[in-house]
């Protein structure tokens, strides 16, 4: 009840902004994850037929293409966000996502145009990955800069929840495509339509107070001193430096969740296919259940962040998850049904490493005029770096280390993750 009362205390502009950005993030992640979760089905349409090992490599390639060029998108949209504004960024990225969905909806298959289909679909994934970069960071920063703690934590957490909801709906559509004969092209047409609606509706957003106020303060200082406006770029506010340890800590935090996501959805999906002989349709159905578990757990997590300090939540979840990681090889070696895999997947998405719900704490320790660029670049670089290593690494390492590969990947992640949390704790104190 107290939380509801706090939400009611938000002004109309804040409520509208949170609503528009939450809906926009849902639509953006629906479009982005639509191919990711239908990859077991769509890769067979756009890539040449091959053996199981090669198929796994092609699947990893298609998955990584979404993230590997994200750092370039981060630099581009980060510059726009820090120099033009947060509002412009989220509108531009939503339009780009809509256009890429239109291309996907009309793209001929491998049987129709050969290897060109594989190249075009990869290019579309790259464009979608780059545009989603500006979207998620733009939404997180926008809400961070228009709200204050403690309501700031669940408000920003709502963005993560809506992103998960978008992925869940994408899995639902994927299930319809594979089990009910729903045309997969219509799914991308739906994605394009909702993205365009989101772009138009976001035209009502105002620029964030932090960004607008920082620019106004610099310009007023220039006017008062009667100097050339070009001195703006030499101002202390404009040239404020980023702490390298803080940037590194944010990068480490951002590296954590991609590992958990890939293991929960992709790696466990491969185990279902190879060990339990699941069809692509059955893998999608199981991942849909995992996504539902993730969605409800993140809703609870966002609520708890209003009551419990977010960094304390991250530390508690870390202790629980490390205990699970040590047991994971035993659990994976004794799988007898898909329910055992579902338990493992569910535990990973509920307690795995991540930055939510402490994201506003991380962002506020970066200068206003560099916040968007650094936040988006660290986010993008972490995804590109970790997804490439994890996706291809698991394909090869699993052949040599079996299920012990989970410990080999997770434990080295935990140590720097603890350091990063500790660093932000010191900054807060």
pLDDT the model gives residue 217: 59
Report d(CA 260, CA 402) in Å as an integer: 18
DSSP H/E element including 30? helix 12-37
What the chain holds in terms of domains, given with CATH numbers, is 13-207+240-428 (1.20.1250.20)
pLDDT the model gives residue 246: 95
Across 149-178, b (16+ Cβ under 10 Å) vs e yields: ebbbbbbbbbbbbbbbbbbbbbbbbbbbbb
Are the beta carbons of 101 and 191 closer than 8 angstroms? yes
Report d(CA 131, CA 98) in Å as an integer: 10
From first to last of its 429 residues, the chain has per-residue pLDDT tens of 334 444 556 777 778 778 877 877 887 778 777 777 676 677 777 777 765 566 666 666 666 666 677 777 777 777 777 777 766 777 787 788 778 888 888 888 888 888 788 788 888 878 877 776 666 777 888 888 888 888 999 999 998 898 889 888 888 887 777 677 777 788 788 777 777 776 676 666 665 666 555 556 555 555 555 555 555 555 555 567 889 999 999 999 999 998 999 899 888 888 898 888 888 778 888 988 999 999 999 999 999 999 999 999 999 999 999 999 999 889 888 888 899 999 999 999 999 999 989 999 999 999 887 888 888 888 888 888 887 788 777 767 777 888 888 888 888 889 999 999 999 999 998
CA-based torsion, 286, 289, 294, 297: positive or negative: negative
pLDDT the model gives residue 118: 79
Report d(CA 137, CA 144) in Å as an integer: 10
The string of DSSP letters for 141-160 reads HHHHHH--TTTHHHHHHHHH
pLDDT the model gives residue 42: 76
pLDDT the model gives residue 212: 58
């Amino acid at each position: 009840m107290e939380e509801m009362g706090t939400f009611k205390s938000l002004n109309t502009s804040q409520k509208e902004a949170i609503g528009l950005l939450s809906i926009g993030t849902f639509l953006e992640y629906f479009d982005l994850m639509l191919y990711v979760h239908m990859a077991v089905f769509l890769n067979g349409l756009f890539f040449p037929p091959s053996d199981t090992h090669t198929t796994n490599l092609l699947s990893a390639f298609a998955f990584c293409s979404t993230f590997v060029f994200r750092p370039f998108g981060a630099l581009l949209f980060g510059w726009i966000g820090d120099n033009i504004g947060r509002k412009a960024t989220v509108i531009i990225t939503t339009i780009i996502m809509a256009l890429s969905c239109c291309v996907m909806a009309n793209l001929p298959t491998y049987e129709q145009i050969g290897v060109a289909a594989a190249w075009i679909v990869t290019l579309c994934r790259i464009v979608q990955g780059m545009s989603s970069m500006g979207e998620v960071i733009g939404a997180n920063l926008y809400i961070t800069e228009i709200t204050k703690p403690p309501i700031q934590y669940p408000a920003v957490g709502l963005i993560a929840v809506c992103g998960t909801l978008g992925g869940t709906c994408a899995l639902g559509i994927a299930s319809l495509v594979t089990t009910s004969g729903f045309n997969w092209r219509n799914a991308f047409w739906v994605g394009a339509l909702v993205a365009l609606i989101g772009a138009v509706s976001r035209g009502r957003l105002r620029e964030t107070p932090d960004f607008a106020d920082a620019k106004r303060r610099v310009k007023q200082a220039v006017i008062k001193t009667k100097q050339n406006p070009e001195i703006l770029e030499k101002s202390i506010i404009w040239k404020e430096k980023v702490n390298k340890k803080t940037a590194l800590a944010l990068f480490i935090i951002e590296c954590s969740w991609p590992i958990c996501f890939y293991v929960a959805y992709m790696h466990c999906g491969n185990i279902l296919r190879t060990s339990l002989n699941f069809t692509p349709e059955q893998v999608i159905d199981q991942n849909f259940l995992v996504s539902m578990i993730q969605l409800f757990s993140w809703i609870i997590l966002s609520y708890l962040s209003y009551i419990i300090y977010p960094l304390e939540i991250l530390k508690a979840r870390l202790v629980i998850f490390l205990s699970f990681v040590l047991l994971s090889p035993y659990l994976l070696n004794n799988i007898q049904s898909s329910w055992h895999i579902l338990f493992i997947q569910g535990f990973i998405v509920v307690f795995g490493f991540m930055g939510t719900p402490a994201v506003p704490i991380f962002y506020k320790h970066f200068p206003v005029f560099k916040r968007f660029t650094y936040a988006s670049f660290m986010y993008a670089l972490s995804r590109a770096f970790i997804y490439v290593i994890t996706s291809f690494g698991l394909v090869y390492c699993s052949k040599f280390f079996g299920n012990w590969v989970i410990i080999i990947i997770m434990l080295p992640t935990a140590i720097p993750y603890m350091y990063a949390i500790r660093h932000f704790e010191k900054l807060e104190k």
